[in-house]
A and B are shown apart, each in its own frame.
Chain A
Amino acid sequence: NAGVTQTPKFQVLKTGQSMTLQCAQDMNHNSMYWYRQDPGMGLRLIYYSASEGTTDKGEVPNGYNVSRLNKREFSLRLESAAPSQTSVYFCASREQGYGTEAFFGQGTRLTVV
């Protein structure tokens, strides 16, 4: 049982390049999330998807787009990468309801030069 799988684990981009971070979960969860983590900033919510076919902005959506391809997959796209997007990105999934745990992928370390 793989849980939440993110690809790639590491990536270096040049300013202005685009890329898509992939995330897949095999726990049949309705909700999926993309966070970024910068030193001293905790986890900041970029976008989330409460269910297949829906997406909503979080705290820091600018410069990103997302696609909930199906119930399993939720991708994050950087159309024109900027150095300010250098960060560690985490995907997570959870079932809806009181006290349900969010399960995280292993993270993607992205550097934009």
Chain B
Amino acid sequence: QKEVEQNSGPLSVPEGAIASLNCTYSDRGSQSFFWYRQYSGKSPELIMFIYSNGDKEDGRFTAQLNKASQYVSLLIRDSQPSDSATYLCAVNTDRGSTLGRLYFGRGTQLTVWP
């Protein structure tokens, strides 16, 4: 089992819709959770991070974390064609024997059509 699992998609939504991306992780000691966006042929770039249970909002993006269920999600409201990219979930533990470890999921390819 991979440390970080994502619904592999691809996911296709119309412009203006809400896109929902999901991620689960296996290490209960994980501390920080990230969503990265990667355009084709480019390097990943950070969208959001979250480390407390609940929701965190930043503009059109909302990250949700449920540590009991080991689940993290990303909602993109009012999706735009420019949001079309691969979204990568990442999980970090900066403690003890796993200090510095940062694992990514397989990514979900999102297409927003006009």
List A residues at the B interface (Cβ < 8 Å). 30-31, 33, 35, 40-45, 48-51, 56, 58-59, 90, 92, 94, 96-102, 104-107
Contacts and interface: CB of A to CB of B under 8 A. Distances in A.
B100 A43 contact: no
A31 to B, nearest CB: 4
Interface string B1-30: 011001010000000000000000000000
A45 B8 CA distance: 18
A101 to B, nearest CB: 5
A102 B100 contact: no
Interface SS of A by simple majority = loop
A96 B6 contact: no
A48 B44 contact: no
Interface stretch (B66-74, B75-83, B101-109): B101-109
Contacts of A100: 32
Contacts of A101: 34, 46, 49
A92 B6 CA distance: 21
Which 4 pairs of residues, A with B, have the shortest CB-CB distance? A50-B100, A42-B106, A43-B104, A104-B43
Contacts of A90: 43-44
B53 interface: no
Interface in B85-105: 88, 90, 94, 99-105
A96 B46 contact: no
B44 A96 contact: no
